[in-house]
Amino acid sequence: MSSLRIFNTLTRQLQPFQPIEPGRVRMYVCGITVYDLCHMGHARMNIAFDVVYRWLKASGYDVNFVRNITDIEDKIIRRALERGITIRQLTDEMIAAMHRDFAALGIATPTHEPRATDYVPQMLDIIGKLQTKGLAYHADSGDVNYAVRKFEGYGKLSGKSPDQLRAGERVAVDDGKRDPLDFVLWKSAKVDEPAEAKWSSPWGEGRPGWHIECSAMSCALLGERFDIHGGGMDLQFPHHENEIAQSEGAFGHPFVNVWMHNGFLNVDGEKMSKSLNNFFTIADVLEKFDGESIRFFMLRTQYRSPFNFSDVSLDDARTALRRLYTALDTVAPADVAIDWTQGHAAAFKAAMDDDFNTPGALAVLFELANQVNRDRSATDAGLLKALGGVLGVLQQAPKAFLQSGAGLDEAAIEAQIAARAAAKAARDFAEADRIRQALTAQGIELKDSAAGTSWVRTGVKAGEQA
């Protein structure tokens, strides 16, 4: 159906994408563990796979997209106990905050958004299959663990053998594990854990391990073999490696055809981390920058590449986005249907088909904006808006975006414009210039024309860099 090529982490190659079922794509992305507010690393991952989702649909595929929610895990239990609330109260609160953040960033709603706690029976079924096949064992601690060395293909996603992975281990064998690489499938209940963190099982009361949750949810909603599995690069090992071991061990056939991983978000060259004190929540950043500018900032780097987070880079992205909106403000866009075989649309498609090369696609938008500014074509403006929509940008009213931002409100700006007009009428040009300069210092650019004076926010105040 398309000429799309995707870099497959499993094969370490850029390869043509062929879905298992022609015309349909089944895709799973590891979602958020909802014990706290989402951070900018979460924004990076979810915008990356939102673009994948949007481009697959724009390419004509019927996409079944699952993005899960981990709503039971050690950190969730601890945080709920610390705050003196139930696990459900905590997770509902954090899910609502996540949805607000994602909406602000223009992240589309997936086809399914399962909560792990709704799929415990499916997890128990997979664990039972693994035990029957000798790939899982009930330890003296009460936990049920996966016997990694009994799965022949372990390490194929990370590209390392169990012995190589073992060489990097610094964890002593404890909790009844036969090997440090073994991982927990079912955690035995602890006395001090709340009742809502405990489920009945053939191995006693307990709760699922993190890795088994994704195997159960993905297979329940997409089938035992599906097209694309995505997540952050930090999930490649051990989480995704363990998903493969569980799913292929239980079902006896390949699990996922294409594995995709996005690059890290760095701050001053280092991975964002609470321990390094360079940690930013999405809500923090939304207080200073609008969601579309944040999204545009992230689209400027291809999803597999690491990139650096800074206010300067965000300011630059916002300024660049204003250039595109200025073109749409100059020429009202016509409604157009995208012809992917022609001109700018074909160039945009070629970039996106090259492993979702968003920087290349944005370059096409800027070429098109230059053409709009030069030729004043409503059709070109319509194509600019339509192609931007494929990436989840340029869908606001241009004037609303250009006039948005912190600082003077609209009424105050209009009052200053009126005062300037009065000064000019009185031939007090010094006062009129003073008002213009004062507005410029506040990041407000005036545009005089025969129809009157309009204004936009430049996003740059006196003393700041563009």
Residue stretches of the annotated binding site: 30, 214, 239, 243, 274
Instruction: Write the DSSP assignment of 326-365 as a string of letters.
Output: HHHHHSPPPP----TTSHHHHHHHHHHHBTS-HHHHHHHH
Are the beta carbons of 283 and 258 closer than 8 angstroms?
A: no
Q: Taking the CA atoms of the chain, what radius of gyration do you get in angstroms?
A: 26
The contacts of residue 192 (CB under 8 Å, 6+ apart) are: none
Plot region of 272 (φ>0 → left; ψ -120 to 50 → alpha; else → beta):
beta
Are the beta carbons of 44 and 32 closer than 8 angstroms?
A: no
Are the beta carbons of 71 and 13 closer than 8 angstroms?
A: no
What's phi and psi for 409, nearest 5 deg? Answer: -80, 170
Are the beta carbons of 225 and 235 closer than 8 angstroms?
A: no
The sign of the dihedral angle between the CA atoms of 386, 392, 394, 396 is: positive
Distances 418 to 46, 264, 411, 445 between C-alpha atoms, Å: 45, 49, 10, 15
Are the beta carbons of 390 and 353 closer than 8 angstroms?
A: no
The contacts of residue 116 (CB under 8 Å, 6+ apart) are: 68, 69, 70, 71, 72, 208, 213, 217
Residues 318 and 37: their CA atoms lie apart, in Å, by 24
Question: Residue 230, exposed/middle/buried by CB under 10 A (0-12, 13-18, 19+)?
Answer: buried
Binding site for Zn(2+), by residue number, is 30, 214, 239, 243
Say if strands 307-309 and 5-8 run parallel, antiparallel, or are unpaired: unpaired
Q: How many CB atoms lie within 10 A of CB 131?
A: 20
Distances 361 to 348, 357, 405 between C-alpha atoms, Å: 5, 6, 26
Question: Residue 22, exposed/middle/buried by CB under 10 A (0-12, 13-18, 19+)?
Answer: exposed
Binding site for ATP, by residue number, is 274
